[in-house]
A and B are shown apart, each in its own frame.
Chain A
């Protein structure tokens, strides 16, 4: 053993490395099992259910059927079984999509100046403003939504003030409209837009803005040609963070939109509840998930291209 001098010869070393890898796998096994059971498992159940037949009182019958998937966009006439477009669903898809886009745009319009304002404060005060922006996160979403209801309902603060001032004669109907949903979602998701843009503006080298001015760029041109391209990753991240939960929003449209103005999330809930059509609910959930994944893939591709560029 004298010639090995206390260290392991090559073969032994490789053996030890193999054992090491094996141990590492064993150690992570519980985590892997949990992820498979509680993340992948329910997803597989959803896929399975979407191809079964609805039970009479909810749940599913173990008979293969494509009705669940078909019912997402078409519906069978109850009298003569002819197929037609499920107008109600399609209008809900459209409302979900358009309201999510509007919410994203509105949060961007309000969020960008807010983020800019915070990022240009003296360092000590920035934390306070960031804290204030995140305060709403600390209370329950339902409570916050009901607070909005207090603001915009017919007897709410806004209408009362406007009536008192004589601006309007009768209260403006804001509750249970698409406006109410858009307003509520903009409020709820605004911090998700502010924070990533703040991070991007915070990283922005303001000497570049000075350089742009020095090279004859006006304020607007400097913003468009230099600032905007540099904070674009933050804007995209914020937009995705707002758009994805908007698409599946449930509480806000439920409380502020009432029973009429459904969104995707409410439609899914309906199928598992009063609608008693679990396969349709499962199919709709998977559709929503696909839409979200498309948005995410787009985000990853855009940001990774940016990184390759920059």
Chain B
């Protein structure tokens, strides 16, 4: 493989392009508006048709735009292309995953998701790191490895695609919550309880969607969450901190500098859990908090007063 494409010129899209260029790939980087090439081996374009000749396409646009952009992209692709998204988003109240969207709006079937503790800044710098690809297709995993793996980046794989996508989305939500809690002055103990119980909740959501619980203790789940706890200053954490400081949503989003999926996921997960008859107290509390329906103290009191049970 010599050429890969990245759809989306945001922070993560650029970092992916740089990671691929670092291991010697030629990269076509598509973004909506024209931009300067960000490095050697990277060509910028605004024409989706320019990516038709590649084998692997990374989709790195915010989830609300994925359907629209990939529908258009699908017009120039066929069954031979591999599509891999990196989004932390889920679509609608049924928590449809983005690989489902890719399969529905494009002719591509060889789809996958790239997730794990990959942060734009670290990826761009080439610090030793690891990620995980979820795909049913071994070929997709191979393509991703060929495209970005190298001495500084290990790529693991799993067939539990839904698991990776739900885990990644829930970690985004939890990172937001952690940022919020830390900014309000809570210490490591609070962080640990929120993170651990949050991951248990994430696994419940995943299992209800057909995922395997194991995925949540791997790179896509705890691996990713540990990076957030360790303070990788990802957009979700910054967003949570800004909210805790009393900024309105729009200002907080500007501070985060990237689209934060976690802001909408809380409400989706809460509705899904209620409809499917299981408990998701952290998502429900965060949904109330983010929509302004409950004060932080009320949410905290609500979470702490729940009856405790066996873990």
The finding on whether chains A and B are genuine partners in a shared complex, rather than unrelated, reads no
